Each structure stands twice: as structure tokens, then as C-alpha cells.
Structure 1
Amino acid sequence: MGTIILASASPRRKKLLEQIGLTFKVVKSNIKEALDVHIEPHTLAEKLSQLKANVVAKTEKNALIIAADTLIVFEDEILGKPKNAIDARKILKMLSGNIHIVITGFTILDSSTGILITKSVETKVFMKEMTDEEIHRYIATGEPLDKAGAYGIQGKGAIFVEKIEGDYSNVVGLPLFELTKELKKFNV
């Protein structure tokens, strides 16, 4: 195994890997994330993470590739990233005062051997009731526009999260506990 590669342009995932002391480089996987609502969410998150890892493996031949995909599930509906501010408002209104699930699928792929591990982790998030004014002010910051579920638990959106059940880093975008457990199988 050569270089460790994060197959993601997400600054949040980059920060999480830096937090655990990994030395890696970032190679963005240029795939169009199409949400197939007919696939069970855990399976979809895992498949998307595998697809991202496989795309990067085509150009990175001697690497350990880490890829991930995070989905928000509310009342059996998969919520992706908002298309615009209007969509972000709609998503935040739905999540307000309710419980939703964050699922992150991740893949670790050794591109030199083809050996891969894919898993998904689920975290339950309890959101407080948000006023229209709070939603408006939050959207005006721009923060919700590039995040699944239209909020960032690690940023200004933290004030809307009452509590979580599960792995906090999973909600940010990479379940560090499970990831590090699986990385050990690759001697990392």
C-alpha cells in the first residue's frame, strides 16, 4: 500500500482525518451523485462511497483510498444537498422539531490489491423547533447550501441540534470510530 487518499473535496472530511493524525492527499472523485430513492439508504450510501473510491482508483494505482457519502433520511425520504436557498428553507422546516437519521457509507479500497471494505453508520439527530426567523438568518450565512440536510452540526447549525444518538463525527461526514477500526485491517 502506498499513499492514503481521501476521495472527497469535503473540507469537513479532510479535517476529521487530520484530527486523527492521518497523512493523506485529497483527490476529488468527480461523480454525479444521483439519489436513487428506490434503493435502501444504507445500501445507497455504501454504493456511492464505493463508486467514488473506484473512480479514484482508476488513476491512483498504489494507494489506500478512503471514500464516503452521507445521506439524511427523514420519514423514509432521502434528503440530499439543497439545490438553492428556497430548497434549504423547505428542508429545514421539515427537520424542525423532528428526528432524522444521518447515514454515512464509507469505503476503504487498496487500489494495488483490489481489497475493499464498505460499511455504513447511522446516527439519530433530534432537532429543536426552529422559528422562521432562525431559518432565514441561518440560510443567509450560506452554510446550509453545500450540506446534506441543509445544516452543519459542526458549524452554526449546531444550535438547532438538541441531541444525537450515535457517532458525532458520522453527522459531520465520516464515522471515525468505525473508520479507524477498519483501517487497522489495512495496517493503518
Structure 2
Amino acid sequence: MTKFILASASVARLKLLQMIGINPQVEVSNYDESLIDLLNPHNLVNTLAENKALTVVENHDHGLVLGCDSVLAVNGEIYGKPENEEEAFHRWRQMRGNVGKLYTGHALFDLRQDKKVIRCGITEVYFANVDDDTIRAYVATEEPLKCAGSFALEGRGGFLIDKIVGCHSNVIGLSLPLLRQMLAELNYRVTDFW
């Protein structure tokens, strides 16, 4: 059986993989994201995902290594994880009643075949027009501090989203349909990892 390695500390990504029957080996990349300064969100997440995976690839000679990265773009501004509660509150004031695009870069390396596939999933997120008190209460939970775009669809933040257009798992941090396509491109099926 081929080893599947997740180059991410994200509990949400791990749970998504486990939900579809892949129990990956988790190896946190600890890649310094500040090394990459790109203004195009599509290029940014793909580059970060690739570099995160590459730091883990160096430690292995076989298996699949998956690196991912997500950002939210609203009105041309890119949001990763907020640095503190004040920043999360300010972002939510900008996002409320607005539409953002959640970009998730996926980099899948197949060490046996010496191949890689890099793709970006994009999902539109429609934010509810919530009041300042609701934003303060949400930020106080600290959930937004752990997430790209300052919200977790699978958590309390899901209540503050009016709708999404596109892949919902992409918003959580890993597009399952995109992963299925990437695996197929490398001649694997998800059942190979069950």
C-alpha cells in the first residue's frame, strides 16, 4: 500500500481525509510563509502548498505527499490567518454582507513516479450582514484566529455564512473533488488508501 503523508498541521484537513477513508501520516512542514510575497491569491496558495509539501518530500523516498494552503480574497485584499483578535474583528467588519473567494492550493507529490500535480480550488463565500456585537462574540471564541479568512465553515463561523457557491470542503481547507481528480491524474484511486 502506498503511504499517504499530509504536510499540514490542520486538524480540519486531517478530518476530511479520514472521513473519506485515508488515514494519513501527518508531518507538519513548518514552512515559513513569509518567504512568499505574491499578490495573486491563486499563485500564492499554489506556491505555498508546493513549498510546504517540498519541505516534507525531502524526508521521504516513497509515498504521496500532500501540501495545502488557503487564503480568502475580499475586494482585492488577501486574508490569511489573522494575527490577533483586533485584526479578526476588523476583517469581519469588512467581510460582513460581502462576497469573498476562498482559494485553496493543493500540491500532491508522488515520490514513486517522481511526479507532482498542483491545483487550486476556488469557492465563493457569501458572508451574513451581522452586527458588531455578533462579530465581537465570534472573535472572542478564538475560532477565527486559527483560520484563513477568520472563519471556520465547519464551526461557529458556519452560522455567519449565508451561502457558498462551489466546493464546500475547499472552504474547510481541502477540496475532496479536486483531490480525487489529482489522484486519478497520478493513476491512483481513493480506495488504494483504504
TM-score range, shorter chain: over 0.9
Equivalent-residue separation in structure 2 for 1:37 and 1:131 (angstroms) = 33
Which segments of 5 or more consecutive residues in structure 1 lack a partner in the other structure? Answer: none
| 1:128 corresponding residue in structure 2 | 128
| 1:169 corresponding residue in structure 2 | 169
* Structure 1 pair 81–63 and aligned structure 2 pair: CA distance change class (3 A): same
| 1:118 corresponding residue in structure 2 | 118
Q: Which amino acid aligns with 1:79?
A: Y
Once the two structures are TM-superposed, the CA of residue 103 in structure 1 deviates from its matched residue by 0.4
Name the % identity: 34
Residues 49-90 of structure 1: per-residue CA shift (max 9 Å, x gap):
100111100112212001100010011111111100000101
Runs (4 or more) in structure 1 with deviation over 3 Å come to 35-39
Once the two structures are TM-superposed, the CA of residue 35 in structure 1 deviates from its matched residue by 7.8
Equivalent-residue separation in structure 2 for 1:3 and 1:37 (angstroms) = 32
| 1:46 corresponding residue in structure 2 | 46
Q: Is the 8 A contact 1:100 1:124 kept in 2?
A: yes
Residues 1-38 of structure 1: per-residue CA shift (max 9 Å, x gap):
84100000100000000111113110000111128554
* Structure 1 pair 70–31 and aligned structure 2 pair: CA distance change class (3 A): same
| 1:62 corresponding residue in structure 2 | 62
Equivalent-residue separation in structure 2 for 1:19 and 1:38 (angstroms) = 33
Which segments of 5 or more consecutive residues in structure 2 lack a partner in the other structure? Answer: 190-194
Once the two structures are TM-superposed, the CA of residue 114 in structure 1 deviates from its matched residue by 2.5
Q: Note the 1:12-27 alignment, pairs <5 A.
A: 12-27=12-27
Once the two structures are TM-superposed, the CA of residue 181 in structure 1 deviates from its matched residue by 1.5
Normalised to the residue count of structure 2, the TM-score between the two structures is: 0.92
